[in-house]
Structure 1
Amino acid sequence: MLRRNKTPMESRDESPESQFFTTGFHDVDDATVPVVHWAERAKAIGARKLARPAPVKRLKELWSRDRFMAGLSPDDLEKCARHFEFYAVDANKDLIAQNEYGGFMLVVLHGAVAVDRQQPWGERLRLTEVRAGNVLGEMSLLDAGPRWSYCTTLNPCEVAVLEAGALDAMIEQDPGSAARLVGSLARRLSLRLRKLGASSQTP
Structure 2
Amino acid sequence: MSQKQLSETEEDTRNFLLHLPVFDSFDTDELTLLAKHMSYVHLQRGEYLFMEGDKGNFMGFVVQGLLEVMKKSDTGQNIVIARLTKGNSIGEMALIDKSPRSATVVAKQPTTMVTLTDKGFDLLTERSPILGVKVIQKVARLLSLYMRRTSSRLADLMQSDPNL
Same fold per TM (> 0.5)? Answer: yes
**Superposed, which structure 2 residues align to 1:69-88 within 5 Å?**
69-88=23-42
Higher strand share: 2
Q: Normalising to structure 1: TM-score of the pair?
A: 0.68
Whole-Å Cα distance in 1 between the matches of residues 63 and 152 of structure 2?
A: 29
> Which residue of 106, 114, 117 corresponds with 2:60?
106
1:53 maps onto 2:3 in alignment = no
Measured against aligned partners, the alpha-carbon deviations of 1:109-159 in whole angstroms (never above 9, x if no partner) come to 111111111223222111111011111111122112222211101111111
Question: How do residues 99-178 of structure 1 correspond to structure 2 at under 5 angstroms?
Answer: 99-178=53-132
Q: Which runs of 4+ in 1 moved over 6 A?
A: none
With 128-137 and 56-65 compared, the bigger mean Cα shift is at 56-65
Q: Equivalent of 2:47, from 87, 93, 100?
A: 93
Partner of 2:139: 185
Deviations 1:13-63 (A, max 9, x none): xxxxxxxxxxxxxxxxxxxxxxxxxxxxxxxxxxxxxxx525x44433443
- Percent identical: 21
Query: Which residue of the partner structure matches residue 34 of structure 1?
Result: none
Residue-pair matches, total: 151
SS of the residue 1:157 aligns to = strand
Flag structure 2 segments of 5+ consecutive residues without an equivalent: 1-6, 160-164
Unaligned runs of 5+ in 1: 1-51
Instruction: State TM-score, norm by structure 2.
Output: 0.83
Counterparts of 2:13 and 2:45 in 1: how far apart (Å)?
A: 21
